[in-house]
């Protein structure tokens, strides 16, 4: 859930600031992009150099970058860049300044201008934490939609024991994972993606296949996972590494196996995307051993494989949504339209090898999306990861409307 998330980490002046280095590390380990802003007080506890080295980016703690040249740091940009502004540790002082709407340090100015959600992980001594002023500030922050990661109980820097320790970096990262998951548009939804080619055996070592690389299907699996879905990837043979965060990957060889694994899951699936280039036909009699050269038949009899997309279309309930692909060698609009109707799909993604950089094996694709209503959406040539995002967005928009 933290993969590719942009987290702006705000560090304020508490001894717990030493844990922020571990936190930045942990967030990055889980795939997040991290930038850091610190108050002056925080730089007394941990150096900007530590955070800059860990994150690979400069750390912001002042309004000016180079006073001699009159350069100032744009606090608005940071707030716009982030998916979330996480202030950890957040001192009692910073919490009260946030309530007051103060902007007298760079971190507070970022807070005032940020459009992303704000999360605070308070850290302070137990009496400061329990003080009615702090408790009221926290309650008021919550009423302004600021989320609070509760501090933990235990030994404090003062020598006292009680509630006020900043949550541990792992616990904060876990908290953020669930927070992102709950806000993701497809949280709680099951998405099935078929990907790659299928191999239809002629004998124990030979097969009929096609040039599909699986890249489009794998990019889709990852994009749906990022949108919060539990993704079931049913994949034919590919050379690709497993996409991040998918719920399950089922490896198959033949169209029949892909059909069986897909249909076994279809009942609980909310959205299915048939991105696989399923072989349309298979040899009728595959030998279970290697045929010697002189045993090879002059012709191979073929029979049709099951059409997975059409089977899903025939079985689908009104709440299920299915997406098919149409790979054509010409502009193919009419044939894509007929596929949409024949296979009872909700959307068809048309791509044509007539477009340079589109289709099998490439890292890019150029698609047109056809809706049941007849509406079409044309997209530019983009990386398959970007195309996958466009498809997820179109699915979400179509479902909403």
- 342 sits in which H/E element: helix 333-342
Closest CB to ligand C5P among 176 and 308?
308
Calpha distance 375→381 (Å, rounded): 20
- Cβ distance 272 to 189 under 8 Å? no
Closest CB to ligand C5P among 12 and 305?
305
DSSP 132-197: HHHHHHHHHHHHTT-EE-PPEEEE-TTS-EEEEEPPPHHHHHHHHHHHHHHHSTTTT-EEEEEESB
Assess whether the previous peptide bond of 271 is cis (omega < 30° from 0): no
Pick left, alpha or beta for residue 137 (phi over 0 → left; psi -120 to 50 → alpha; otherwise beta). Answer: alpha
Any bridge partners for residue 87, and if so which?
Answer: 10, 120
Closest CB to ligand C5P among 13 and 324?
324
Calpha distance 333→118 (Å, rounded): 46
- Cβ distance 154 to 7 under 8 Å? no
Residue 213 CB, nearest distance to ligand C5P (Å)? 14
Residue 356 CB, nearest distance to ligand C5P (Å)? 21
Calpha distance 61→72 (Å, rounded): 11
> Which of these, 313, 314, 321, lies nearest to 397 by C-alpha position?
321
Burial class (CB in 10 A: 0-12, 13-18, 19+), 343: buried
Where do contacts with ligand C5P occur on this chain (CB under 6 A)?
Answer: 194, 255, 274, 276, 278, 280, 305, 307-309, 324-326, 339
Residue 326 CB, nearest distance to ligand C5P (Å)? 6
Residue 178 CB, nearest distance to ligand C5P (Å)? 34
Closest CB to ligand C5P among 128 and 249?
249
Residue 336 CB, nearest distance to ligand C5P (Å)? 9
Closest CB to ligand C5P among 40 and 342?
342
- Cβ distance 80 to 35 under 8 Å? no
What is residue 369's DSSP assignment?
Answer: E
CA Rg, the chain, in Å?
27
- Cβ distance 160 to 241 under 8 Å? no
Any bridge partners for residue 274, and if so which?
Answer: 194, 324
Chain-centroid distance, C-alpha 389: 9
Q: Is 260 a catalytic residue?
A: no
Residue 221 CB, nearest distance to ligand C5P (Å)? 14
Q: Which of 66, 74, 210, 378 is catalytic?
A: 210
- Cβ distance 200 to 207 under 8 Å? yes
Closest CB to ligand C5P among 43 and 194?
194
Residue 309 CB, nearest distance to ligand C5P (Å)? 4
Residue 89 CB, nearest distance to ligand C5P (Å)? 50
Residue positions annotated with a catalytic role: 210
């Amino acid at each position: 859930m933290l993969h590719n998330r942009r987290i702006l980490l705000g560090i304020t002046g508490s001894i717990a600031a030493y844990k922020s280095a571990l936190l930045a590390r942990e967030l990055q380990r889980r795939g997040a992009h991290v930038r850091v802003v610190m108050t002056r007080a925080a730089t007394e506890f941990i150096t900007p150099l530590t955070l800059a080295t860990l994150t690979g980016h400069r750390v912001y703690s002042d309004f000016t970058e180079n006073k001699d040249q009159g350069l100032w740091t744009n606090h608005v940009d940071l707030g716009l860049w982030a998916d979330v502004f996480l202030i950890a540790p957040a001192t009692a002082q910073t919490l009260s300044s946030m309530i007051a709407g103060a902007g007298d340090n760079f971190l507070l100015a970022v807070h005032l201008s940020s459009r992303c959600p704000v999360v605070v992980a308070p850290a302070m001594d137990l009496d400061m934490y329990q003080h009615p002023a702090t408790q009221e500030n926290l309650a008021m922050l919550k009423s302004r939609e600021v989320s609070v990661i509760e501090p933990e109980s235990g030994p404090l820097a003062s020598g006292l024991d009680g509630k006020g320790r900043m949550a541990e970096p792992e616990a904060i990262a876990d908290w953020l994972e669930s927070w992102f998951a709950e806000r993701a548009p497809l949280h709680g939804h099951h998405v099935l993606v078929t990907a790659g080619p299928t191999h239809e055996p002629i004998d124990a070592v030979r097969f009929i296949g096609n040039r599909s690389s699986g890249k489009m299907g794998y990019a889709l699996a990852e994009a749906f996972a990022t949108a919060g879905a539990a993704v079931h990837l049913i994949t034919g043979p590919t050379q690709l590494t497993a996409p991040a965060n998918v719920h399950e990957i089922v490896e198959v060889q033949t169209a029949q196996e892909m059909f069986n694994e897909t249909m076994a899951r279809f009942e609980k699936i909310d959205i299915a995307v048939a991105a696989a280039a399923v072989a349309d036909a298979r040899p009728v009699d595959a030998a279970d051993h290697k045929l010697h050269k002189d045993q090879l038949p002059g012709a191979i009899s073929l029979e049709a494989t099951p059409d997975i997309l059409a089977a899903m279309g025939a079985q689908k309930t009104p709440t299920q949504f299915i997406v098919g692909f149409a790979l054509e060698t010409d502009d193919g609009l009419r044939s894509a339209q007929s596929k949409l109707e024949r296979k009872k799909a909700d959307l068809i993604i048309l791509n044509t090898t007539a477009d340079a950089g589109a289709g099998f094996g490439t890292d890019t694709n150029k698609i047109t999306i056809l809706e049941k209503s007849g509406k079409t959406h044309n997209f530019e040539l983009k990386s398959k990861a970007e195309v996958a995002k466009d498809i997820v967005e179109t699915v979400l928009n179509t479902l909403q409307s």
